Amino acid sequence: MSHSKNLMIAISAVQAACKVCQSIRSSDACEDAISKKDRSPVTIADFGSQAVIIQRLLENDSDLKMVAEEDANQMQSLKDTSLGTDMVNAVAEVVPGATWEKIARWVSCGAYEGSATEAFWTLDPIDGTKGFLRNQQYAVALGLIENGEPVLGVLGCPNYPVDGFESKGGAIGRLFFAEKGKGAWTLPLSVSINDLASAQPVRVSPIESAVDAKLCESVESGHSSHDDSAKLTQALGITKESLRIDSQCKYAAVANGDASIYLRFPTSAEYREKIWDHAAGVIVNMEAGGKVTDIHGNALDFSLGQKLEKNQGIIAASASIHDSVVAAI
């Protein structure tokens, strides 16, 4: 199994960012978050993760084009505070010599607007910040976009249970990655970049009827309409209890067969999804044999800037039942 240089770099960067997140999560600093303009929380782990990934990518491409979630201006209130010092120290553990100024410069390199013709990266440094704060599911999600579609994706999932969500206790931490035309794969998060040959392929559930499906949806009702999800499960005759977890770990759960449908219903007619919330998960899911569209069955278009402007909601499901889910909607 061969991997492109871009994929190897992306995996190494995501692993390093996960170390920063885990270091901060194990400290008192993880309890503090500030609110962004949209009232969503952001922590020093978000900024530290974004800085580390961009620093790693810049080492290999000085002309990096990156659409990332976090804004360096949001960091300024943390400068010269104990939280700011904690962030610098956590980043310096994986990037020796890191300083506040360097971190701010790296984070600011994520302000690219996107393109329909140029290749660019998109990053959610902590997808599921509320899950991170609860010490539940969150993901470091890095994707590469070419011609309006994801062609490479890496999901670092520090709390993903190795033996599945039904297991009690046991090891946690999985890395999921995919490259267009080369399948989707998984490894323990801590595995060395030199040991990728031990990666195992992941495949979606082979179920033939949506009646047998297990639904995966957001913990937060503000992210997806739970009422609409309940109506759909009733229409499809699904009786299994839904798996509610944060972040693009939902894409990983469907790709890995731990669930069979991921639904994200829009919470308003005007809302459009951010590309960093989906790019990495979409390619992992599709390379695992799944199918991903909006709720109307339309292909996702990542060429229109920072949002999926032409799409409403998300359906990621085993290809065998995807069309029946669209029909039920």
Question: Which residue of the set 43, 122, 129, 186 is catalytic?
Answer: 129
Active-site residue, 258 included: no
Name the residue among 153, 212, 201 with its Cα closest to residue 180: 153
Contact 8, 78 (CB under 8 A): no
Instruction: Report the distance separating Cα 129 and Cα 301, nearest Å.
Output: 25
Q: Which residues pair with 145 in a beta bridge?
A: 120, 150
C-alpha 201, offset from chain centre = 19
Active-site residue, 46 included: yes
Instruction: Report the distance separating Cα 206 and Cα 259, nearest Å.
Output: 11
The angle formed by the CA atoms of residues 180, 65 and 95, to the nearest 5 degrees, is 95
Contact 103, 47 (CB under 8 A): yes
Residues with catalytic roles: 46, 129
